[in-house]
């Protein structure tokens, strides 16, 4: 019996090794938990088009927004670990969702293995209606203190609302959260004056800024964001607040390390390409490195712990 088990394991290992050596022999599917045309979708396509050329294969993007992206993560987690299915994992799916939901249909760290980062920096912006008499965060907080509850802000239930509640706690102010399922709805309402403030990602707000319908007070990145050098960070007013996003290509756990390393090497070439990084800036994103398999695993662990603490201290309860 013992020798039969050993032989079976040996055959399985040999088959996995042979598969890794011949990979990729067919197109790779990339599951994106966002709608076609959204920033995560466009960036995923931008990155995988270039990675595909480096690997000499093709990528097929599959969008799945069911259950706010939870179904996409579950589908990817259950896929065969053969290198032919990738998932676009983000700070939301890997570090924030575990604390916003009482249960998830996937286990971020156990079900996936990180392959490569496709961007490692993003920022939320704090913006207000132009008629609100606040030119910076200090003035905004002073206004909020003069009339608790008089200011309302729009944000989706995710990183934006967490940043907002975190700011409120640190500043000691009463600003009312108006939650939105779709970020663009909060954008329209603040531009129309139905809410006085919103927190949203950089690319979504660009047209409203150019039209003068909104005014940006701060960004959530740890340092001033490229392209917005005159906009202060939240941390310049509230030290310690740092909310910078990231996105990684991940594969189902058990995917051969050799395949993950090939993904990583190919992506490292892409993120060093000035044309790619310049395109990312247009989406309010930055990329310095694809990371390593080890550093990505540590990023997932440390970010999950960090955001768990932030969410608990901000008083946000899981659904």
* Spatial separation of the C-alpha atoms in residues 118 and 290, rounded to whole Å: 6
Predicted confidence (pLDDT) at residue 1 exceeds the cutoff of 80: no
> Domain boundary residue among 204, 236, 268?
236
129 has a pLDDT exceeding 50: yes
* pLDDT tens digits along 62-114: 999 998 899 999 999 999 999 999 999 999 999 999 999 999 999 998 999 99
Q: Are residues 111 and 31 in the same domain?
A: yes
181 and 223 assigned to the same domain: yes
What is the model's pLDDT at position 11?
A: 47
* 318 belongs to a structural domain: no
Asked whether 86 and 76 are in contact (CB, 8 A), the reply is yes
What is residue 193's predicted lDDT score, i.e. its pLDDT?
Answer: 93
Query: Residue range 153-161: average pLDDT?
Result: 92
Residue 169 lies in a domain: yes
Q: With 90 as the cut, is the pLDDT of residue 6 above it?
A: no
- 116/249 same-domain check: yes
Gap between the Cα atoms of 154 and 189, Å rounded = 8
Consecutive H or E run containing 73: helix 70-77
Closest to 220 measured CA to CA, from 204, 202, 208: 202
In the three-class reduction of DSSP (H, G, I as helix; E, B as strand; rest coil), residue 22 is classed as helix
Of 212, 236, 260, the last residue of a domain is 236
Note whether 222 and 308 are same-domain residues: no
Do both 131 and 229 map to the same domain?
Answer: yes
Identify whether 319 is part of a domain: no
In a domain, 211, yes or no: yes
For position 124, what pLDDT does the model report? 92
Q: Could you tell me the pLDDT band of residue 9, with boundaries at 50, 70 and 90?
A: very low
Q: Which residue, chain included where needed, has tokens 């011949």?
A: 22
9 and 114 in one domain? yes
What is the C-alpha to C-alpha distance for residues 223 and 229, in angstroms, rounded to an integer?
Answer: 9
Is residue 275 situated within a structural domain?
A: yes
Between the alpha carbon of residue 308 and those of residues 1, 287, 304, 305, 316, the distances in Å are 47, 25, 6, 5, 10
What would the pLDDT profile of 255-289 be if each residue is shown by its tens digit?
999 999 999 999 999 999 999 999 999 888 999 99
- Tally of domains in the chain: 2
Count Cβ atoms within 10 A of the Cβ of residue 270 and give its class: 0-12 exposed, 13-18 middle, 19 or more buried.
buried
Please state, as a whole number, how many other Cβ atoms lie within 10 Å of the Cβ of residue 44.
Answer: 25
Tell me, what CATH number does 188's domain have? Answer: 3.40.190.10
| The pLDDT of residue 19 | 53
91, 159 contact by CB (below 8 A): yes
Q: Residue 14: is its pLDDT beyond 60?
A: no
Overall average pLDDT of the 291-307 stretch: 96
List Cβ neighbours of 298 (8 Å cut-off, separation of 6 or more).
none
pLDDT at 121: 92
Q: What pLDDT shows up at residue 8?
A: 47
Asked if 228 and 255 sit in the same domain, the reply is no
Length of the chain as a residue count: 319
Q: Could you tell me what percent of the chain has a pLDDT over 90?
A: 79
* Structural domain boundaries, residue 96: 2-17+26-120+245-313
Task: Check pLDDT > 50 for residue 2.
Answer: no
Q: Which among 183, 210, 236 is the end of a domain?
A: 236
pLDDT at 155 over 60: yes
Q: What is the pTM of this model?
A: 0.87
Judgement on whether residues 134 and 212 belong to the same structural domain of the protein: yes
Choice between 176 and 12, residue whose per-residue pLDDT is larger: 176
What is the average per-residue pLDDT within 105-134? 95
Higher-pLDDT residue of 216 and 4 is 216
Q: Which of 136, 275, 285, 277 is nearest to 203 (CA)?
A: 285
């Amino acid at each position: 019996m013992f020798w039969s088990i050993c032989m079976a394991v040996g055959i399985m290992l040999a088959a996995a090794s042979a598969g890794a050596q011949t990979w990729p022999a067919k197109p790779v599917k990339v599951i994106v938990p966002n709608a076609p045309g959204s920033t995560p979708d466009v960036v995923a396509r931008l990155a995988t088009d270039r990675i595909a050329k480096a690997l000499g294969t093709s990528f097929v993007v599959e969008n799945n927004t069911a259950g706010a992206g939870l179904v996409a993560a579950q589908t990817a987690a259950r896929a065969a670990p053969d290198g032919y299915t990738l998932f676009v994992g983000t700070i939301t799916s890997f570090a924030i969702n575990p604390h916003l939901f009482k249960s998830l249909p996937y286990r971020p760290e156990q079900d996936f293995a990180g392959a490569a980062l496709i961007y490692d920096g993003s920022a939320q912006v704090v913006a207000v209606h132009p008629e609100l008499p606040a030119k910076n965060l200090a003035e905004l907080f002073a206004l909020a203190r003069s009339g608790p509850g008089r200011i309302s802000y729009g944000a989706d239930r995710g990183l934006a609302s967490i940043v907002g509640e975190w700011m409120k706690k640190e500043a000691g102010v009463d600003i009312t959260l108006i939650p939105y399922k779709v970020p663009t709805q909060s954008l329209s309402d603040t531009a129309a004056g139905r809410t006085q403030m919103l927190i949203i990602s950089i690319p979504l707000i660009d047209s409203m800024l150019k039209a003068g319908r909104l005014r940006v007070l701060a960004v959530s990145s740890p340092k001033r964001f490229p392209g917005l050098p005159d906009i202060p960070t939240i941390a310049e007013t509230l030290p310690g607040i740092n909310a910078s996003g990231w996105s990684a290509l991940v594969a189902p756990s058990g995917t051969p390390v050799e395949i993950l390393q090939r993904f990583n090497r190919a992506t490292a070439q892409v993120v060093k390409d000035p044309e790619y990084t310049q395109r990312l800036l247009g989406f309010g994103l930055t990329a310095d490195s694809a990371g390593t398999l080890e550093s990505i695993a540590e990023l997932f662990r440390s970010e999950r712990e960090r955001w768990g603490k932030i969410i608990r201290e901000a008083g946000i309860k899981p659904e």
